Chain A
Amino acid sequence: MGVAILGVGQVSALGDGVEALRAGLCGERLPAIFQQTVETPSGPVALPVYRAPLEGLSRFVQPRAVRRLDRLSRLALLSAHLALLDAGRPPVASERLGLVFGTGHGPQATTFAFQDGLLELGDRFASPTLFSGSVHNSLASQVSIALQVEGPCQTVTCQGSTTAEVLAMARSWLAGGEVDLVLAGVGDELSDPLCYAAACLRDPARPVLEPLEFTTCSFAPGEGCVCWLLGTEDRAAHRGRIESIAVGREVAPPKGAEALFLAAAGDLGSADGYHRLMRQNLPTSAHAALYGSMPAGLAFEIALAALSAGGGPIACAESSPGGPSSCVVVSP
């Protein structure tokens, strides 16, 4: 069964909203990249960091209402509001709306903020607010509370398989008639330890992110969130359709795919998997240089595919080190 994409919301270093993503794809807008100098065991490393703006959230909620929300939950909430807006806010009963979010690292900055408290004040002064905000499902739960979603609510975290499973879960709920609509999102946030690890691993001779260069590491950490409002295939698909979802070690773009969008992110470990995905010599591109390296990358590739002119199905794929590959086919 296919899935209709009724609306897309996104926030990334390109800005927020679908038009920001489209402008980036067309070369009309550049992402906000901050150069950060990180001290590593082998000396200082200049690290490009893709930071997403959150100012747009105030268009939807009062700043006071979200002052205690962790950053990742804010990214998720903004992208969810944008997806609903993009879809024209179709009516749906609260218990007939499902919610599934994926994340590679979870609210990691909050996890470390919690540890800051332990280091500065001691075990007895651990922060309950930071702890409850540090669990991986905080983004889904905060969105469910803010939007009063009462349908199924799930969080998936599985590196390269995350986005595919998020979409597969949404498809299951829709196909089974459990819900009428699903808000499905995938997001990640920056944290100092992750930036440090990236700086340690990247090749200092590579100043920019080169996603399809598999011989060296040009990893440049990014943050952001993509959210889709999804419906059954009989609905009018405002932003295209998810035609198929596959996960496995030998996954390949299916027949009929006219192009291949890869969520390659400038790291070395996934090269074999990406080479397998490219065997069919489809026109291939990777757009991580627009949004940065992060586990949510496949979600951005799918969003970009849905916006691409041309009309043919696009296979969007991701490979994770040692794990299975994922391939999601999108018809714009």
Chain B
Amino acid sequence: MTGLIVASGLGCLAAPGNSLDAAHQSMLAGLRSPGASRRLNLDLERELPVFEIESDLLDELDRHAFDGRGWFRTTRLTVLAALEALNQAGLEPAALQPLRVGVCLGTTVGCTLNDEPFYAALRGGQRPEPAPALRYQANNPALHLSRLFQLDGPVATIANACSSGTDAIGRAAAWLREGRCDLALAGGSDELSRVTCLGFSSLMITSGAACRPFDRRRDGLNLGEGAGVLVLETEAGRERRRAPAPQGLVLGYGCSADGYHTTAPHPEGKGLRRAIRKALDEARIDASAIGLVNAHGTSTRDNDQVEGRVLADLFEDAVPVVSTKAYTGHTLGAAGALEAIFTLRQLRDGEVPATAGFAEPDPECRILPTVSRTTVRAEWALSNSLAFGGNNSALVLRRA
């Protein structure tokens, strides 16, 4: 497997659990409980259920001897997911310093100056301290992680809206193939914020109830928060450092623009078809090899219809399709990373959760997602992401 890109460690936090094991078991058990945010004060006409992580994460960071009080919540999520992934890969942060380690992370909230109190004070004629304008730059997720672990290698925060996490993994894999780094921390993270909650609500694509991906009665998405980080390296590099067995492989990536609309996918899914084709080509496999699909599956009318049609055209034989957003909500910049991580675990363990909320097929979607905990005997899987701005990205993953 020399030259192949392996995931030697996986780490995640999301509403179903604050570790990959916890989240995976919770999803297999079909557990989910979206509800009104306990942290955010939102004045909306109707309910906005979200998938929120309860903890402020400070105790968890303290257990690793990090003081996260000055960090954005997105930053805290990122660091905790990275620590879990490193641990599984048999690495301590200090062990990274002799290596060239790249950091490539996706986000939306984590790169934006959304400090409402600061802006309100400024707009109201007060003269607030400028610290928030500086703090948001210091919390740029990839830069923060690179600085925190004192890493030396390429650094990039990918801000491609909802496909950012998928794109970050694809980009980090390219760095490794090009020899730009020995090892990469790749993934994505995003916290729930008032601005994104109010923004998505204004677009009228949020549901007032728990989301129902691909269901005929689906009426919108639920937002969520979380982080997912993968330790990626070449198989040759993993063998050199005598690391634990890999969790899976990242063998294909493709992205493609619709060039069509800022918030709606191309009706025929042109860009998504190209992105999947590129990912399959890079992995040097045919679509018939894919045995599991983690769909973007947001539960919005447009997304699920377009994605369902593309998948139905691509996979003539029934392939298990799951949307884990039914358990995490749409975690934006973290979504692609979380879903890639879940998919690798599902390939490894051979079990996929039901797509919670799905009950009634939609002829317009033309696919049936998983309706119960399902056994899969698959070697290859596909994970899709579609984003604002018409970006489409896909990863082809393989069982180790």
> Do A and B actually bind?
yes
Interface residues of A (CB under 8 A from B): 39-41, 94-95, 99, 103, 105-106, 108, 111-112, 114-116, 118-119, 122-124, 126-128, 131-138, 140-142, 144-145, 147-159, 161, 165, 168-169, 172, 176, 178, 192-194, 196-197, 200-201, 247-250, 320, 322-324
On whether A111 and B112 interact (CB within 8 A), knowing A95-B256, A158-B155, the answer reads: yes
Question: Among B114, B140, B194, which residue has its beta carbon within 8 angstroms of that of A159?
Answer: B140
On whether A159 and B137 interact (CB within 8 A), knowing A131-B203, A193-B118, the answer reads: yes
Q: Which of B157-207 contact A (CB under 8 A)?
A: 157-161, 167, 171, 174, 178, 180, 194-195, 198-204
What chain B residues lie within 8 Å of A114 (beta carbons)?
195, 199
What chain B residues lie within 8 Å of A193 (beta carbons)?
113, 118-119, 122, 133
B147 adjacent to A126 (CB under 8 Å): no
Report the bound CA distance from A169 to B167 in whole Å.
Answer: 12
What chain B residues lie within 8 Å of A135 (beta carbons)?
108, 159, 161, 388-389
What chain A residues lie within 8 Å of B156 (beta carbons)?
156, 158, 161, 165
B262 adjacent to A141 (CB under 8 Å): yes
On whether A128 and B202 interact (CB within 8 A), knowing A141-B262, A178-B278, the answer reads: yes
Report the bound CA distance from A145 to B204 in whole Å.
Answer: 23
B154 adjacent to A161 (CB under 8 Å): yes
B155 adjacent to A324 (CB under 8 Å): yes
Tell me the smallest distance from the CB of A33 to a CB of chain B, in Å: 21
B 204-238 to A, binary, CB cutoff 8 A, 1 in contact else 0: 10000000000000000000000000000000000
On whether A158 and B157 interact (CB within 8 A), knowing A145-B261, A150-B259, A152-B257, the answer reads: yes
Report the bound CA distance from A145 to B390 in whole Å.
Answer: 8
Tell me the smallest distance from the CB of B148 to a CB of chain A, in Å: 10
A194 adjacent to B133 (CB under 8 Å): yes
B158 adjacent to A155 (CB under 8 Å): yes
B389 adjacent to A248 (CB under 8 Å): no
Tell me the smallest distance from the CB of B383 to a CB of chain A, in Å: 17
11 contacts between A and B (CB under 8 A): A95-B256, A115-B114, A150-B274, A152-B257, A154-B160, A154-B171, A154-B255, A165-B154, A193-B133, A324-B146, A324-B152
What chain A residues lie within 8 Å of B255 (beta carbons)?
152-154
User: Which of the 9-residue segments B27-35, B41-49, B336-344 touches chain A?
Assistant: B41-49
Chain B CB within 10 A, most for which of A116, A127, A152, A320: A152
Question: Among B122, B153, B256, which residue has its beta carbon within 8 angstroms of that of A151?
Answer: B256
B257 adjacent to A151 (CB under 8 Å): yes
Report the bound CA distance from A152 to B143 in whole Å.
Answer: 24
Report the bound CA distance from A249 to B150 in whole Å.
Answer: 9
B257 adjacent to A141 (CB under 8 Å): yes
Instruction: Name the residue on B nearest A68 (C-beta).
Output: B262
Is the CB of B142 closer than 8 A to any CB of chain A?
yes
A122 adjacent to B152 (CB under 8 Å): no
What chain A residues lie within 8 Å of B391 (beta carbons)?
137, 141, 153-154
What chain A residues lie within 8 Å of B100 (beta carbons)?
248
A122 adjacent to B43 (CB under 8 Å): yes
Report the bound CA distance from A158 to B389 in whole Å.
Answer: 20
Instruction: Name the residue on B nearest A141 (C-beta).
Output: B389
Is the CB of B263 closer than 8 A to any CB of chain A?
yes
B 123-155 to A, binary, CB cutoff 8 A, 1 in contact else 0: 100010110011001101011001100001111
Instruction: Name the residue on A nearest B255 (C-beta).
Output: A152
What chain B residues lie within 8 Å of A197 (beta carbons)?
130, 133-134
Tell me the smallest distance from the CB of B201 to a CB of chain A, in Å: 7
A323 adjacent to B111 (CB under 8 Å): no
Question: Among B159, B198, B203, B274, which residue has its beta carbon within 8 angstroms of that of A132?
Answer: B203
Question: Among A119, A141, A154, which residue has its beta carbon within 8 angstroms of that of B167?
Answer: A154
Instruction: Name the residue on B nearest A162 (C-beta).
Output: B156
Is the CB of B270 closer than 8 A to any CB of chain A?
yes
